[in-house]
């Protein structure tokens, strides 16, 4: 039974997209017969080698159900009970996890306002004080997002500066890589250039936004930076019993270049949409990956939403977010751009 139009695609989120056919095939290939549960399977074992080819010989991957779980498991493993995390105010761990780090693990988040979603050594220093003060949660981890929630991308040099500064202060670095593939595709660099080589300690590696049915992975790059993930993953309800189906998808995504092809396509569709709307709408951020942010008056947004799904980002200023996906087509972009130009009327001519 099909309850939706399979030809309809929107610009609300890359989570709206379906599963990439190659990843559905990987699930089917992993199906059939019995295989050990809870990660003691051939697929999860094979995944370790795949991850090490991308992230280095010390990498260890722990598949989980979703991105919120990956972030909670990763950060919990990196912190003592009195530890705190410095992160951008716009970071997903702060704005879109329904307080999961705080509620599940009691983690204090120390947020910093940033104009583009990116942290710098100077911005980190705004929250890095109070170490040794028993009255303050201790800032022991810096968490960055790549690409950021504002669609911007850290260069390897920017990430290296963040990591070197954090390490010099005795802190570890976590990278929320829900869209790490899009960032690497944007910069035309391997995944390790934005993680291991930059000095990142633990990565939440995203798959769902790049074509997986479900599943992400916590990837530990610095073994000394993370403790107890097998236990944390269980008590945070992130231990899949049929883990082979998460691992099989991640293998199919990463063993070849599917991760890169899908991310490159999503990025290209975002760039194409921006090109068609330059001079029509006011963009508020750079379009480095597959997200666009623009000012659209409330009445215009309402008219567009009669046929297109997308989210407000800052409703008070009329800022909206548009996302492209691995399956966005040039025809989708063209139709959406035409409708936007039509709504904006003479200003679009």
Q: What's the CA dihedral at 177, 178, 180, 181 to 10 degrees?
A: 150
Mean pLDDT along residues 73-95: 97
Provide the pLDDT confidence category of residue 244 given band limits of 50, 70 and 90.
very high
Q: Is 123 domain-assigned? A: yes
Q: Is 7 domain-assigned? A: no
Q: Report the SS3 class of residue 327.
A: coil
pLDDT digits (tens, 9 = 90+) for 255-309: 999 999 999 999 999 999 999 999 999 999 999 999 999 999 999 999 999 999 9
3-class SS letters over 58-96:
CCEEEEECCHHHHHHHHHHHHCCCCEEEEEECCCHHHHC
Question: Is residue 349's pLDDT more than 70?
Answer: no
**What's 107's domain CATH number?**
3.40.640.10
- How many domains, in total, are found in the chain? 2
Q: Which of 201, 219, 254 is the last residue of a domain?
A: 254
Burial (CB count within 10 angstroms: exposed 0-12, middle 13-18, buried 19+), residue 18: middle
Q: Global pTM?
A: 0.96
Do 248 and 306 lie in one domain? The reply is no
Across all residues in the chain, what is the average pLDDT? 96
φ, ψ at 190 (rounded to 5°): -70, 160
Which residues lie below 8 Å from residue 175, measured CB to CB, with a gap of 6+?
A: 143, 144, 145, 146, 159, 194, 195, 200, 202, 203, 204
Q: Facing residues of 323 across strands?
A: 291
Mean pLDDT along residues 100-125: 97
Do 208 and 270 lie in one domain? The reply is no
b/e sequence 92-113, b meaning 16+ C-beta within 10 Å:
bbbeebeebbeebbebebbbbe
Give the number of other Cβ atoms within 10 Å of residue 227's Cβ.
Answer: 14
* Residues 250, 212 contacting (CB under 8 angstroms): yes
Do 172 and 289 lie in one domain? The reply is no
Tokens of 212: 């997986």
Do 166 and 287 lie in one domain? The reply is no
pLDDT digits (tens, 9 = 90+) for 170-181: 999 999 999 999
Strand ranges for 106-252 from DSSP E: 108-112, 138-145, 172-177, 202-205, 216-220
Find the domain containing 340 and state its range: 258-348
Q: What's the CA dihedral at 32, 38, 44, 45 to 10 degrees?
A: -110
How many helices (H) and strands (E) would you count in the chain?
Answer: 13, 11
Q: Report the SS3 class of residue 40.
A: coil
Do 111 and 236 lie in one domain? The reply is yes
Q: Is 10 domain-assigned? A: no
Provide the pLDDT confidence category of residue 345 given band limits of 50, 70 and 90.
confident
């Amino acid at each position: 039974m099909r309850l939706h139009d399979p030809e309809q695609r929107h610009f609300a989120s890359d989570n709206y997209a379906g599963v990439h056919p190659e990843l559905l095939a990987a699930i089917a290939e992993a199906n059939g017969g019995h295989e050990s549960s809870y990660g003691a399977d051939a697929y999860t074992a094979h995944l370790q080698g795949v991850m090490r080819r991308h992230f280095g010989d010390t990498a260890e991957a722990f598949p989980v159900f979703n991105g919120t779980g990956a972030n909670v498991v990763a950060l919990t493993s990196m912190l003592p009970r009195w530890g705190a995390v410095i992160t951008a105010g716009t970071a997903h761990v702060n704005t879109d996890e329904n307080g999961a780090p705080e509620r599940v693990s009691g983690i204090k988040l120390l947020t910093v306002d940033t104009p583009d979603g990116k942290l710098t050594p100077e911005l980190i220093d705004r929250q890095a004080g109070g170490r040794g003060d028993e009255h303050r949660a201790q800032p022991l981890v810096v968490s960055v997002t790549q690409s950021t929630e504002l669609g911007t991308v850290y260069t390897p040099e920017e990430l290296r500066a963040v990591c070197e500064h954090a390490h010099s202060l005795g802190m570890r670095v976590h990278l929320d890589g829900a869209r790490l593939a899009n960032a690497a595709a944007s910069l035309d660099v391997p995944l390790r250039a934005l993680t291991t080589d930059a000095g990142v300690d633990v990565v939440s590696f995203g798959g769902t936004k790049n074509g997986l049915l479900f599943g992400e992975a916590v990837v530990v790059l610095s073994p000394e930076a993370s403790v107890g993930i097998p236990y944390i993953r269980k008590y945070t309800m992130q231990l899949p019993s049929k883990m082979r189906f998460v691992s099989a998808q991640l293998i199919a995504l990463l063993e070849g270049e599917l991760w890169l092809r899908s991310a490159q396509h999503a990025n290209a569709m975002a760039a194409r949409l921006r090109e068609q709307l330059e001079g029509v709408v006011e963009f508020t951020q750079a379009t480095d990956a597959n997200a666009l942010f623009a000012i659209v008056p409330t009445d215009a947004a309402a008219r567009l939403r009669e046929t297109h799904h997308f989210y407000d980002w800052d409703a008070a200023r009329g800022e909206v977010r548009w996302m492209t996906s691995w399956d966005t087509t040039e025809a989708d972009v063209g139709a959406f751009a035409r409708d936007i130009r039509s709504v904006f009327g003479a200003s679009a001519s």
